[in-house]
Amino acid sequence: MTSKTTWTPAELAELPVVVIGAGPVGLAAAGHLYERGLRPVVLEAGDEVGAAMRSWGHIRTFTPWRYIVDATAEKLLAPTGWFRPIGDVPPTGAEIAEQYIAPLAAVLRAEAGADSVRTGARVVAVTRQGMDKARSLGRAERPFLVRVANTDGAYEEILARAVIDASGTWGQPNPLGGSGLEAVGEGVAAEAGFLVGPLPDVTGRDRGRFAGRTTLVVGMGHSAANTLLNLAQLAREVEGTRIVWAIRADDPSRLYGGGEADELPDRGKLGTDLRSLVHSGAIELVASFTTTALDIDGDTVTVHGVAPEGAHRIDGVHNVAAATGFRPDLAMLAELRLDLDPGLEAPVQLAPLIDPAFHSCGSVPPHGHRALAHPESGFFIVGMKAYGRAPTFLITTGNEEVRSIAAALAGDLEAADEVQLVLPETGVCSAPQGFRTGTPELDGHQSLSKY
């Protein structure tokens, strides 16, 4: 580590751009940076690239390959004989990791250097070299300092001219408790093994623990829908498999979605299938339920909650799948000057445009470096993490975010400001066209699919 404390712009420009996370958006960012003549260093906490996606590898996504593969990444991959899979069948998480993310990492390592994509490297903190958050003078003239914990237990510090945080939110699931905190007894129940995560491999690897037993799924997103449908398949095969679905809302229709009107047929079908299973009684729906406590009772747990009519309990549960969404890890960014919405924890300009409370259609305009900027110049949060606690992110949105940011970092503001995005319609509703936001790059409305 250098002891240097004064940097010329030319010296700063020599430093790499650190990208945190080797998911689809982090690697697309690296591709754009490389194409623009900048030096990317991608740091991935997992042992393999695409680590988060591999943990839900058994789940089939609902976006066909054309909404996943970044155009610049495709260009980089083409000389290796790689081509984007054709057709409308969406890939599974594992297929995206194996067939796209891994080859892209290999190409980057070959072209931009072996160290341009590193695994087993968890970023634990980002700051400015020699400056804490309170120091203002000369802040922008100091490089970023990225502290990394390697899997061998050693720490290292990397200096960077800019940092793009594409670390996703998969590592920080929301708790079961309805108040944003763990429910009483949730930690003990988790330690005792009753909590199974949002997307267990019910019909594959984890089948044994679900077959012939009672599982409670809590939440109303597509993770919950996937787990419920897989449980229903298992229930058809193994007698005694009971499925209870608890939601905070009084009505699950939002998740049932647009059905055949959805431009992504697999997403439309997910909702339609779920509705049939609830109507047939194969899934027991408990609506208006807010989890408050869990009590272990032998080999089952009782889940307590409140409902409009008063206290409510769900007994005899062997497994609880908390599919209650995710939140961004902001602890590692505590020394940076960020401008985040206090509710959604998304960049402040983006947050009102993706807030699920007001955007039932899931509408978002294309957005790039300006909407994603923070007072800490040269630092950006992108991808799933840019949406903070909002659940509607799509990879294609992230590809456009990082294209714009790489162009801005390379000084090509014209390209950086030309943000474009075409997203598939949900079929749930159609959003008004052409609203004005006051920020040129946020004008020009597009519809975003509900995730």
By rule CB under 6 A, what count of residues binds ligand FAD? 39
Q: How far apart are CA 177 and CA 87, in angstroms?
A: 41
Q: How far is CA 298 from the centre of its chain?
A: 36
By CB under 6 A, residue 69 contacts ligand FAD: no
By CB under 6 A, residue 431 contacts ligand FAD: no
By CB under 6 A, residue 126 contacts ligand FAD: no
Closer Cβ to ligand FAD, 64 or 185, answer by number: 64
**Sign of the CA dihedral running 375, 381, 385, 391:** positive
By CB under 6 A, residue 323 contacts ligand FAD: no
Window contacting ligand FAD (CB under 6 A); options: 52-60, 81-89, 291-299, 434-442? 52-60
Window contacting ligand FAD (CB under 6 A); options: 41-49, 127-135, 299-307, 317-325? 41-49
By CB under 6 A, residue 405 contacts ligand FAD: no
Q: How far apart are CA 218 and CA 319, in angstroms?
A: 11
Window contacting ligand FAD (CB under 6 A); options: 3-11, 18-26, 274-282, 350-358? 18-26
**Of residues 343-382, which lie at the interface with ligand FAD (CB under 6 A)?**
none
Q: Which two tokens stand for residue 135?
A: 């120091």
**3-class DSSP state of 173:** strand
Helix (H) or strand (E) holding 42: strand 40-43
Q: Which residues pair with 162 in a beta bridge?
A: 17
First to last CA, the chain: 42
**Of residues 95-124, which lie at the interface with ligand FAD (CB under 6 A)?**
122-123
**3-class DSSP state of 40:** strand
By CB under 6 A, residue 43 contacts ligand FAD: yes
Closer Cβ to ligand FAD, 214 or 449, answer by number: 449
In the chain, the amino acid numbered 13 is A
**3-class DSSP state of 139:** helix
Q: Which two tokens stand for residue 429?
A: 């509703």
Q: How far apart are CA 91 and CA 74, in angstroms?
A: 16
Q: How far apart are CA 345 and CA 55, in angstroms?
A: 24
Question: Residues 427, 265: contact at Cβ < 8 Å?
Answer: no
Q: Which of 383, 388, 424, 427 binds ligand FAD (CB under 6 A)?
A: 383
Q: Which of 30, 158, 162, 166 binds ligand FAD (CB under 6 A)?
A: 166
Closer Cβ to ligand FAD, 163 or 183, answer by number: 163
By CB under 6 A, residue 76 contacts ligand FAD: no
Helix residue ranges, H only, 87-221: 93-96, 102-112, 186-191, 207-210
**Of residues 167-226, which lie at the interface with ligand FAD (CB under 6 A)?**
167-168, 170-171, 199, 223
Closer Cβ to ligand FAD, 241 or 392, answer by number: 392
Closer Cβ to ligand FAD, 26 or 143, answer by number: 26
Write down the least CB distance from residue 433 to ligand FAD, Å: 23
By CB under 6 A, residue 229 contacts ligand FAD: no
Write down the least CB distance from residue 27 to ligand FAD, Å: 8
Closer Cβ to ligand FAD, 185 or 383, answer by number: 383
Write down the least CB distance from residue 356 to ligand FAD, Å: 14
Please provide residue 270's backbone torsions phi and psi, each rounded to the nearest 5 degrees: -55, -50
Closer Cβ to ligand FAD, 69 or 303, answer by number: 69
By CB atoms closer than 10 A (0-12, 13-18, 19+), residue 145 is buried
Q: Which residues pair with 301 in a beta bridge?
A: 296, 317
Write down the least CB distance from residue 44 to ligand FAD, Å: 5
Closer Cβ to ligand FAD, 219 or 305, answer by number: 219
Q: Which two tokens stand for residue 398?
A: 């992230």
Q: How far apart are CA 24 and CA 63, in angstroms?
A: 13
Write down the least CB distance from residue 247 to ligand FAD, Å: 18
Q: Which of 16, 26, 325, 424 binds ligand FAD (CB under 6 A)?
A: 26
Write down the least CB distance from residue 32 to ligand FAD, Å: 13
Burial 255-279 (b: 16+ CB within 10 A, else e): bbbbbeebebbebbbbbeebbebbe
Please provide residue 21's backbone torsions phi and psi, each rounded to the nearest 5 degrees: 100, 125
Q: Is 227 left (phi over 0), alpha (psi -120 to 50) or beta?
A: alpha
By CB under 6 A, residue 394 contacts ligand FAD: yes
Write down the least CB distance from residue 56 to ligand FAD, Å: 4
3-state helix, strand, coil in the chain (%, to 5): 30, 20, 50
Closer Cβ to ligand FAD, 94 or 293, answer by number: 94
Q: Which residues form the interface with ligand FAD (CB under 6 A)? A: 20-26, 43-46, 50-53, 56, 59, 61-63, 67, 90, 122-123, 166-168, 170-171, 199, 223, 332, 383-384, 393-395, 398, 451
